[in-house]
Amino acid sequence: MEENKVVLEDYKLYQNYPNPFNPSTIISYRIPERVKVNLSVYDIKGEKINELVNQEQEKGYYEVKFDARESKVLSSGIYLYKLEVYKENKPVYRKIEKMILLK
C-alpha cells in the first residue's frame, strides 16, 4: 500500500501589518532555501511604485518596511505587493497581496 505524502509549501507571503496603514507598513515573507527574491509594490493599475527587495537571500523569515513617503506622492487607496522567488533563474513562487493606504 502506497502512503499519501503531504508536501508543505514553505514559501509564504504574509498579509502586511498594520493594514490599513499610514504612512508605513511591514511586509513579511518566509523562504525555505537560498533563492533570489523580488518584492515590489504596485498601484491598482499595475504600475510599479517601488522595488523593496531584489537580491539573493538565505533561508529564513524576513520583514521589510514599506514607507509610502519614500515613493512618489501616493494617494489613499489600494496597493498591491508581489513576492517573486527564483531558483536557478526559474520562477518557483509568486504571490500578490493587497494593502490599503489611508491618509
Question: pLDDT confidence of 86, banded at 50, 70, 90?
Answer: very high
CATH of the domain at 84: 2.60.40.2550
Q: CB–CB of 3/44 below 8 Å?
A: no
User: Is residue 2 assigned to a domain?
Assistant: no
Give the pLDDT mean for 67-84. 92
Cα–Cα nearest to 16, from 72, 81, 75 = 81
User: Is residue 24 assigned to a domain?
Assistant: yes
User: Is residue 36 assigned to a domain?
Assistant: yes
User: Is residue 4 assigned to a domain?
Assistant: no
Q: What tens digit of pLDDT does each residue of 35-58 get?
A: 999 999 999 999 999 999 999 999
**Structural domain count of the chain:** 1
Terminal alpha carbon distance of the chain: 60
Q: What tens digit of pLDDT does each residue of 90-101 get?
A: 999 999 999 999
pTM above 0.85, yes or no: yes
User: Is residue 46 assigned to a domain?
Assistant: yes
For residue 69, the enclosing domain spans: 12-101
CB atoms within 10 A of CB 46: 8
